[in-house]
């Protein structure tokens, strides 16, 4: 991640912008593959009721349903971020990123310009979609329509790699640090400006 410092009138750092570099995105993409394999195994076994199928048939209706469910899941991901942000008093905004990372989730985003979250609130904001959508998704994989859910849920969990990485980074910040969500990263605010 690249960091850009802002300085107050006394010359001490008051905030650091933490933004992904190309190398960071490359690492996230590599890490997302084992995450995807684990997710495919969990969601797939739930969808198959623990039985490994001997074969499968591809139907265009199922493929179309998978595409629609995938889009809905990625939109739901950003809505969950926004809902949690709003619960912490923020006014979320939505947008489309210009750059590309992994999958559709890197194109859609929810953010809260100018709102400062506590460190633990921000960890909750970043992890909420991975936890809630995966939990609900696992239950959906136990329904008769499981064949249209397990693949979108796998793609979704793979795309959560950046949220998980940012949550881990925020959790390592010192107590009292405030976090401002940015469309392409996070701003950590320190010192007197960060007093809670």
- The answer to whether 82 and 94 have CB atoms below 8 angstroms apart is yes
Q: In this structure, are residues 69 and 148 in contact, taking their beta carbons and an 8 Å threshold?
A: yes
Return the CA Rg of the chain.
Answer: 19
Q: Determine, yes or no, domain membership for 11.
A: no
Model confidence at 52, pLDDT cuts 50, 70, 90, reads low
| Per-residue pLDDT tens over the stretch 129-153 | 999 999 999 999 999 888 899 999 9
Q: What is the mean pLDDT of residues 115-138?
A: 96
State the pLDDT at residue 56.
61
On whether residue 195 sits in a domain, the answer given is no
Domain, as residue range, for 134:
17-49+61-189
pLDDT-based confidence at residue 5 (cuts at 50, 70, 90): very low
Q: What is the pLDDT of residues 58-71, one digit of tens each?
A: 788 889 999 999 99
Tell me whether residue 172 is in a domain. yes
Cα distance between residue 73 and residue 3, in whole Å: 31
- Quick: pLDDT tens for 94-105: 988 765 444 444
Structural domain contains residue 34: yes
Quick check: is 75 in a domain? Answer: yes
More confident residue, 48 or 85: 85
d(CA 59, CA 62): 5
110 found inside a domain: yes
CB atoms under 10 Å from CB of 120, counted, come to: 12
Number of domains in the chain: 1
Task: Find out whether 173 and 133 touch, Cβ atoms under 8 Å.
Answer: no
pLDDT category, 53, cuts 50, 70, 90? low
């Amino acid at each position: 991640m690249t960091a850009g410092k802002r300085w107050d009138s006394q010359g001490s750092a008051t905030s650091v912008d933490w933004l992904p570099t190309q190398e960071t995105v490359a690492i996230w993409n590599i890490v997302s593959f084992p995450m995807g394999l684990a997710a495919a195994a969990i969601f797939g076994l739930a969808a198959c009721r623990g039985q490994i199928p001997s074969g499968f048939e591809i139907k265009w209706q199922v493929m179309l349903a998978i595409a629609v469910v995938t889009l809905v899941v990625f939109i739901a991901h950003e809505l969950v971020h926004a809902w949690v942000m709003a619960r912490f008093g923020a006014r979320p905004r939505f947008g489309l990123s210009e750059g590309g990372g992994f999958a559709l989730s890197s194109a859609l985003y929810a953010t809260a310009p100018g709102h400062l979250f506590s460190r633990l609130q921000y960890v909750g904001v970043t992890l909420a979609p991975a936890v809630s959508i995966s939990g609900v998704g696992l239950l959906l994989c136990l329904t008769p329509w499981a064949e249209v859910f397990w693949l979108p849920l796998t793609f979704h969990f793979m795309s959560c790699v950046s949220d998980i990485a940012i949550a881990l980074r925020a959790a390592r910040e010192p107590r009292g640090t405030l976090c401002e969500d940015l469309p392409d990263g996070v701003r950590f605010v320190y010192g007197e400006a960060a007093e809670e």
